[in-house]
Structures are given as C-alpha cells and as structure tokens.
Chain A
Amino acid sequence: MNVEAVIVSACVGAAFGWLVRRWIAAARRRRDGSCAGGCGCADKVGKGR
C-alpha cells in the first residue's frame, strides 16, 4: 500500500463516517420533536404565528 492510497482511503472513510454520524444525530433530534436540520424551525412553528 502506498501513501497516496492511504490518504485517499482516509478521505473517503472520513466522509462516510461523518455522514453516518450526522444521520444518527439528525434521527435523535427528530425524536425530540425538533427539526433535524437543527435550524429551530420546529420551535418557531409553535411560538410564532
């Protein structure tokens, strides 16, 4: 295995891991009844208007 291949697989692995972590965090936020984007729009729905 050369250095280049190691760097490339590290990049791809990091991207994949980051996406998975993000999806898990989003699922948790949804379970709390808020917006998975973390933008707080769920709270505005109740309060504003």
Chain B
Amino acid sequence: MSPEPEPLVALVGNPNTGKSTLFNALTGLRQRVGNYPGVTVARKSGQCDLGPAGRVELVDLPGLYSLAAASPDEQVVVDALTGRISGDRRPDAVLLVVDATNLLRNLFLASQVAELGVPMAVVLNQADVAREQGLRIDVGLLSRRLGGVPVVLASAWKGEGVSEVRRAIAQALADRRLAVRATWPAPVAAALDEVTAALRSDLGVEPTAAEAQRTLFDAAGSTAVRFGWTGPRRDLVLRSARDKVRRGGYNPFAAEPLAHYAHLRVLLEGVVEEGGAARSASAAVDRLLLHRLLGPVLFAAIMLGLFASVFWLAKFPMGWIQDGVDLLRGYIAPKFAATPMLQSLVADGVISGVGAFLSFLPQILILFLFVGILEDSGYMARAAFIMDRLFSWCGLSGKSFVPLLSGFACAIPGLLSTRTIEDPKARLATAFAVPFMSCSARFPVYALMCSAFIGPVYGSGWESAAMVGMHCVGLLFAVPVAFILTRFVLRVRPQPFVLELPRYQLPKPRDVLWRMWQNAAEFVSKAGTVIFAITVIVWALSYFPRDPAVADRARTAEPSLTGEALERRVQAAYVEQSWMGRFGKAVQPVFDPCGFDWKITVGVLASFPAREVIVSTLGVTYSLGEGAEADSGQLRTAMQSARWQEGPRAGSPIFSLAAVLALMVFFALCSQCGATVATLAQETGGWKWAFASFATMTVLAWLAATGVYQAVIRFAPPA
C-alpha cells in the first residue's frame, strides 16, 4: 500500500459516445475488471499515465443519459460519484465524454454532474464525425462558458487528441475548477432547501446538492431509499416540497430538465457553427417545403396522399379480418346454442364488439408506417414550423407546437410535453388546446364512418378528403379557443422561439418498423383489455333486463311477420327496452338536433371514458338487434341498412350524409377521454381547468354537430 494513493478519475458519458474506446486508448493494457458490490454491474478500472503529472486511476462508469436513477447501472454511477460505494473513494475529478455532434443532449448529463461539485474535464469525442458534418465547435468559448473547465476535441477511434485529453485531466486535477451550475427558479430552490434540511435533521447526513436534487426530482425515490430514508415522514416532506414547486408554477418532475436545458441553451449560444454540403442540400429542400404559400399547400397534399394510401392499402386486409371475425362467430355461436345468454355474450358482445374494433388494425399499421417515415425523415419538425407560422397570431407560442403535434398521436404525451414551456400561462393555454388535436383514437371512428358511408357513395377521393377535413376540424376550433384564452382570459405575453430543424435524412427502416410495431401492439392490447372489458359491460347493459312479455308483445304487434324477420323484430324489441336502450331513448332528444338516433346516442354516451369505444358499442348494439344466429356480424352492412323506425324521419336511413358528418364532427371536438381529463387535472394542479376543458369541448362538439347536420339536410341534395 502506497501512502499516497493515485488520484481517482471517473469516466462519465452517454452510451455510445466512445467512452470505452477512449478508456482503452488512455489505459492501454493496464486494466482491471471487477464487480460493484451487490449488483451485477462491471467495474472497469485502469491506470493512466499523465506524463510529468504522474499517474491516475481511471474508472469507466456505465453509460447513461441522466442521473435520474432508475436502473442499477444509473444508481451505481450516482453512488460512485458521491463516494457512497463501500471500498471505493470519491473521484477526485470527472472526465465527461460527450458526442461532439450532439452537444445539447449530451451536455444535459454534464449539467447534472456539475451539481456534484467534483472538478471536471470535458472531452468532445467523435470529432471526426463532427468535421464530416461540417460542424465547427468553438472549444475555447465553451470552456470559458463552463467556468474555465478544460474542454478538448478528440477522436478516440482515430487516436486523435488523446494526449490533449491527458493534459486536460492533469489540468482538472491541478486547478480543481468546478463547472458553472444551472440556476434554479426560486420555488425549486426553496423546495431543495427544505429537502436538504429534512435529510440533515432526520438522518444526520450532510447531503450534497446533487443528492438533494435526486431525492426531490426522482419519482422512483431510489436515492432516498439509499439513505435509508423511508416511511410517512419522508412522504410528507417530499409532498410538501413538491407542492411548493407546483405552486410556483412548475411541474416537480419537469423542473429539473427545464432548468438544465435553459442553462445549456445560454451556454451553447454561438458555440457550434454549422456549415457544409449536407446543410445546404437541406436548406434547398426547405426553401420549397417551407415556402410561405407552397409549404402549407404541399403539407395538405402530403396529408391527403397519406390518408388516400392508408384507405387504399388497408381495404383488403380489413376485409380479411372482417371475414375472419364472421367465420369465428359462425363457428363459435352454435357451440353455445343450449345457453342463449352465454351465446349472446360471446357472439354479440365479445366477438362483434372487439372484432369491429380490431378490423381497423391494418389502417393503424399503415398509418403509423407513413407517419414514422415522415417523422424520421425530418419532415414532421417542418410541419410544426409551418403550423407555427400559420397559427402564431392566435397567441400560442412556438413552443406550443411540439405538444400540439404530439397531440395528433395521443393527447397525453402532448399534455406531458407542455412541461417544457416555462411560462405557466402559456403552458395552460397549450394544455387546453392539445385535446382538440385529432388523436389516433379518433381514427377508427372516422375510418368506420368514411369507409361505410362516404367511400361507397361518393368515391375514395371524398373519403380521403373527409379524413383530412376531420383532422383539421380540431385545429380550426383550437385556434379561436386558444386566441380567446391567451388574449382575454390568461393574457399571455408572446415569447420568441426558435425551432431547431433537424437535417433531412433517409428514414431508418428499423426505427420506422419499431414505431409501427409499438403502435400496433398497443392497439391490439387495448382491444384485448380495455375494449374487451367495456364491451362486456356494454353488452350486459344492452341485454338485460330480459322480460319474456317484451317478446310476446312484439309478436302480437306484428302478426304478419314470420321466421327470421320476426326473430329480428323480437331481438330489436329486447335491445330497445334494455337498460342501455331506455337510457339512450331518454337522452336521445338531446342529440336529436344532431341527427343521432338512440343507438348512436348510446354509443356517444358509452364512449365518454374513451372515444374509440363507440366502434365496439355500435358493434354490440347492432349485433344484438340482429340476434346471435345472424350469419354476419358485420357492422358496416347493419349500419347501412338501419332506418328510422318512428318520428318525422321514419323510413329514411339513420346514417345519412348529414348524420355521418355530424357524428364525425362531434367526435372530432368532444372531450371523450377520461385519461386526458385526468392528466389535464394533474398537469394544471386541479380539476378546475380539466372541467372547463371538458365542458367547453362537449358544448362546442354539440353545437358544431348540430350546425353541420342542420346545414347539410337543408342545403345538400339527398344522396
């Protein structure tokens, strides 16, 4: 044992930045591989010769994106850097390895590590790639902005700059400079003080700033557990601290990245200069695609083409699925002939309901294939740019368009990404607008209506046009709503914003297919879980009560009917007097001005928890009306032949053009998603705004659907 141990330097960086390559270049063959106590994470260390400055021990920590400790790997890094691993010293310096081609994302970790208060040196690795891409990085400026911490460019793979890295390590150890830290907004700083004080008084430990931050910011709470800080007292302290953050207008789980990125944006201002051929090619394409007039037109054309091809390509596989569902139903139903109630549950409920929903799987697959290609190629970021230019006058800041755009897939990630907006008022206005975006759960509803009523009557051109139109309806309503909200209710100050446009690239098949697969898997698992469960309940509500007197009355009412027609009449009479039927009929007058009959009304009401439920609900109610022995459960044909039974519209089709358009507009605007409303309440810190959003959207949906219905029946020629 030497009296004076060699200084310990830890290598930290995102995965795939070339950390291991650099480690090998620095240590050569003097390496040891062991294990961290208690976990299966390898501990790689080695000796590094710094020349005249002597030797240091270098330890290669696992690659990670953030110190938010979720996995054992990440926990090891936090523990190693704070010196809380038994038998290990606290590092004397950190060598941060960064991908030079992606400074903003990589330096996020640097900004977190700076909180540890350990001397630091930064290596911008993969300098060769950066050079190829035409990036010029002002290393001196970055070093000054970081507070004089040594920064060097290197290419570990080519062996360039390795001796500069050695000098940087020596300098970090000699100067012991700390990197400049992000500034915390006042409410966050106060909450951090509260956590620090509680850790000190409860446990008698003196936490570092980084440890207090990890305790406050990480929902998983592994850092608190590491301290042995558990139980109700901890929960109380953390809840009070997080409430403090929330009351200050920040989301407690987003305040950290927000502060770091704000810090880094200032830090990196003017550090990286782009140039080169790839950039000029991208710029040339952008002159066309982002043209003031041509840009939006091309965008609309691309969307139109996208939906047209989705319909065209999905037609056949969709038919196969429907035939398969029929086959299954025809095979299974007779097996339950002895038990009609169970037979109806299986055939009319589960098979018809879930089958109707599943038949849209091909469309979902193809839709996300195209969306993936557009996104991966870099076009979607341009779409946000075009939207920004078209709609910034309405008071939504440029930053709102990323949440709005993700709202087209699902409102919930859209709402969560509003956390990146600093101004609480602008964030609220954006969160209010996000649920108007046409999320993918609306897609099966539009697809059902378009493929059953618009396509067969007006042709596939109008089918796609209706689809694009429906995706615009939400946006058209969101804009004035946001305008009123930002201008008159919240009085948001407009904020300047620069959207970073990624360079165009060929989509990577692996990424695109992965995204398509994930969405398909989610769709199928939804069919097998939520849709399945709700379908069973909707079936029960539409099946019971079963009073034999109803059947007798139906038989005596129409003595001329026999055989199948009579059976169908009896089944229809049962559904009408079921709980669902009675409820639907009681509420139907509300939706009468929109042209909805009681079955649609039932579908609308049942789909308030989740809008796509209407597809399976219509599947169940129409199938029940036909009786379980009917050879086809196909929803489309049943809906096409549905007629009004009574009232002034008796005899005319229920699903007229007017009613179909009204129904789609209703679904475009209505707030039919329990998860979205709950998330809105969570993100805005109370039910007030969630309720306001729900009420606004529902009223708007009703007004718009009524307007469309009344206008079309007056002014459009009957089909």
Which residues in B have their C-beta under 8 angstroms from that of A31? Answer: 682
CB-CB under 8 A for A12 and B537, given A35-B416, A45-B416, A47-B66: yes
Contact B261 A49 (CB under 8 A): yes
- B540→A45 contact, CB < 8 A: no
The contact size tier of chain A is: 20 to 34
A19–B534 touching, CB < 8 Å: yes
B413 and A45 contact, CB distance less than 8 A:
yes
Give min CB distance, A43 to chain B, whole Å: 8
Contact A7 B342 (CB under 8 A): yes
Interface set, chain B 674-706, CB cutoff 8 A to A:
674-675, 678-679, 682
Query: Which single residue of chain B is at the shortest CB-CB distance from A19?
Result: B533
> For the complex, is B397 an interface residue (Cβ under 8 Å from A)?
no
Of the stretches B31-39, B225-233, B250-258, B490-498, the one at the interface is: B250-258
Q: B211-259: which have CB < 8 Å to A?
A: 219, 251-254, 256-257
CB within 8 A of A33: which of B65, B251, B420, B529?
Answer: B251
Q: Does B412 sit at the interface, judged by CB under 8 A?
A: yes
Minimum CB–CB distance for A17 against chain B, Å: 9
Q: A4-B341, A19-B533, A37-B412 are in contact. Are A47 and B65 (CB under 8 A)?
A: yes
| B342 pairs with A42, CB closer than 8 A | no
Contact A36 B678 (CB under 8 A): yes
Q: Does A41 contact B (CB under 8 A)?
A: yes
Within A1-49, the residues touching B (CB, 8 Å) are: 4-5, 7-8, 11-12, 15-16, 18-19, 22-23, 26-27, 30-37, 39, 41-49
Known: A11-B536, A15-B533. A42 touches B253 (CB 8 A): yes
**Contact, CB under 8 Å: B540 / A34:** no
Chain B contacts of A18 at CB under 8 A? 533
Alpha-carbon gap, A33 to B412, bound state (A): 12
Interchain CA distance A1-B339 in the complex, whole Å: 14
Residue-wise, chain B 519-542 has the 8 Å CB interface mask toward A (1 for contact) of 000100000011011101100100
Inter-subunit contact B678/A33 (CB<8 Å): no
Q: Report the minimal beta-carbon distance from B525 to chain A, rounded to whole angstroms.
A: 11
Bound CA–CA A49/B210 (angstroms): 22
Q: Which residues of A contact B416 (CB under 8 A)?
A: 35, 41-42, 45
Max chain B Cβ within 10 angstroms of own Cβ: one of A15, A39, A43: A15
Contact with B219, one of A4, A23, A33, A44 (Cβ below 8 angstroms): A33
Identify which of A19, A26, A34, A46 contacts B675 (C-beta below 8 A): A26
Q: Which of B97-112 contact A (CB under 8 A)?
A: 104-105, 108
A24 shortest CB reach to chain B, Å = 12
Q: Total interface residues on B, using CB and 8 Å?
A: 39
- Which listed residue, A22, A32, A47, touches B257 by the CB 8 Å rule? A47
Please give, as numbers and ranges, the residues of chain B lying within 8 Å of A32 by CB-CB distance: 219
Any A CB within 8 A of the CB of B417:
yes
CB distance from A7 to the nearest CB of B (A): 6
CA distance A18 to B530 in the complex (A): 9
Contact A16 B537 (CB under 8 A): yes
Q: Is B419 an interface residue (CB 8 A)?
A: yes
Question: For residue A11, which residues in chain B have a CB less than 8 angstroms away from its CB?
Answer: 345, 536
B253 and A33 contact, CB distance less than 8 A: yes
Complex CA distance for A31 and B243, rounded to whole angstroms: 12
A19, A27, A35, A46: the one contacting B412 at CB < 8 Å is: A35
From A4, A33, A46, residue with most partner B Cβ within 10 Å: A46
| Cα-based distance from A48 to B72 in the complex (angstroms) | 20
How far does the alpha carbon of A46 sit from the alpha carbon of B413 in the complex, in Å?
A: 11
Q: How far is the CB of B63 from chain A (nearest CB, A)?
A: 13
User: In chain B, what residue has the closest Cβ to A12?
Assistant: B540
Q: Is the CB of B537 within 8 A of A15?
A: yes
A4 to B316, CA, bound (A): 39
Instruction: Return chain A residues, CB-CB under 8 Å to B417.
Output: 45
Cα distance A42–B414 in the bound complex, in angstroms: 10
Instruction: Specify which chain B residues have a CB less than 8 angstroms from the CB of A42 in the assembled complex.
Output: 253, 413, 416
Query: Cβ of B256 and Cβ of A46 under 8 Å apart?
Result: yes
Q: Within 8 Å CB of A45, what residues of B?
A: 254, 257, 413, 416-417, 419-420
Given A15-B533, A19-B530, A32-B219: A26 in contact with B678 (beta carbons within 8 A): yes
Of B341, B342, B413, B533, most buried by chain A (CB within 10 Å of CB) is B533
Please state if A35 and B413 are interface contacts (CB–CB under 8 Å).
yes
Distance of A14 from chain B, by nearest CB (Å): 8
Q: Are A33 and B252 in contact (CB under 8 A)?
A: yes
| Residue in chain B with minimal CB distance to A7 | B342
Enumerate chain B residues within 8 angstroms of A15, measured Cβ to Cβ. Answer: 532-534, 536-537
Chain B residues with Cβ below 8 Å from A12 are: 536-537, 540
When the two chains form their complex, are residues B533 and A30 in contact, meaning their CB atoms are under 8 A apart?
A: no
Neighbouring B residues of A27 by C-beta, 8 Å = 678
Q: In the bound complex, do residue A36 and residue B533 qualify as a contact, i.e. CB atoms below 8 Å apart?
A: no
Partner of B679, one of A4, A16, A36, A39: A36
Indicate if the CB atoms of B682 and A37 lie closer than 8 Å: no
Could you give, for residues 400-414 of chain B, a 1 whenever the CB lies within 8 Å of some chain A CB and a 0 otherwise?
Answer: 000000000000110
User: How many angstroms between the C-alpha atoms of A43 and B419 in the bound complex?
Assistant: 11
Residue of B nearest to A34 (CB): B219
- Give every chain B residue within 8 A of A47 (Cβ-Cβ): 65-66, 68, 108, 257
What are the 8 tightest A-B residue pairs by CB atom distance, in nearest-first order? A33-B253, A15-B536, A46-B257, A15-B533, A41-B413, A32-B219, A12-B540, A4-B339
The 21 sampled A-B contact pairs (Cβ below 8 Å) are A4-B339, A5-B341, A15-B532, A16-B537, A19-B537, A23-B674, A31-B682, A32-B219, A34-B219, A34-B253, A37-B675, A41-B412, A41-B416, A42-B413, A45-B257, A45-B416, A45-B417, A46-B66, A46-B419, A48-B105, A49-B104
Identify 11 new A-B residue pairs, CB closer than 8 A, beyond the known A5-B341, A16-B533, A30-B682: A11-B536, A16-B537, A19-B533, A26-B678, A31-B682, A34-B219, A35-B413, A36-B675, A37-B675, A43-B70, A49-B420
